[in-house]
Amino acid sequence: MRKLSLVAALALGGLIACSTLVNAQDAPKKSGKKGFSVEQRLDAMSTQLSLTDDQKPKVKTVLEDTAKKMQDVPREERQEKMPAIRDEQMKKLKAILTPEQLEKYQKMQQDMRKKGQGGQKKKSE
């Protein structure tokens, strides 16, 4: 009887260990970053602004450039340097987007800031 209990306990322990491993593999990986990736931002902009096939690679380049610059800024300097980086991004996007798209983009930015996802509360140009 003891052998049967021991085998059952070992089998149960093995099943629990395996199920934990399976769940760990299925869990999404967190990169430790806040916010959205360049791809997620581009997808949202493509959908909400109806970007043309010509605009998409240009906007992607601007978003990648901005993301790189933001990563390069030390944490303690971010509050000071981010507005200039965002202003530079806006200037580049103004050259790519139509006036209607730009207006929608600025509205999107304001809405995100109101929800607390856009960092500092600052009015767009």
Residues 6+ apart with CB under 8 A from 66: 85, 86, 88, 89
Average pLDDT rounded to a whole number, residues 30-54: 83
User: Residue 36's pLDDT is what?
Assistant: 83
Number of Cβ within 10 Å of residue 49's Cβ equals 20
Q: Does pLDDT of 99 surpass 80?
A: yes
pLDDT of residue 68: 92
Chain mean pLDDT for the chain: 78
Percent of all residues in the chain with a pLDDT value above 90, rounded to a whole number: 45
Which has more confidence, 28 or 57? 57
Question: Which letter does DSSP use for residue 28 in this model?
Answer: P
What is the identity of the amino acid at 40?
Q
Distance (Å, whole) CA 78 – CA 56: 28
Question: The tokens 């806040």 sit on which residue?
Answer: 34
- Structural domain boundaries in the chain: 54-115
Query: Between 38-49 and 55-72, two packed helices, what is the crossing angle to 10 degrees?
Result: 140
Q: Look up the pTM and report it.
A: 0.62
Q: Give the C-alpha separation, 61 to 96, whole Å.
A: 11
Sort residue 122 into left (φ over 0), alpha (ψ -120 to 50) or beta: beta
pLDDT at position 34: 62
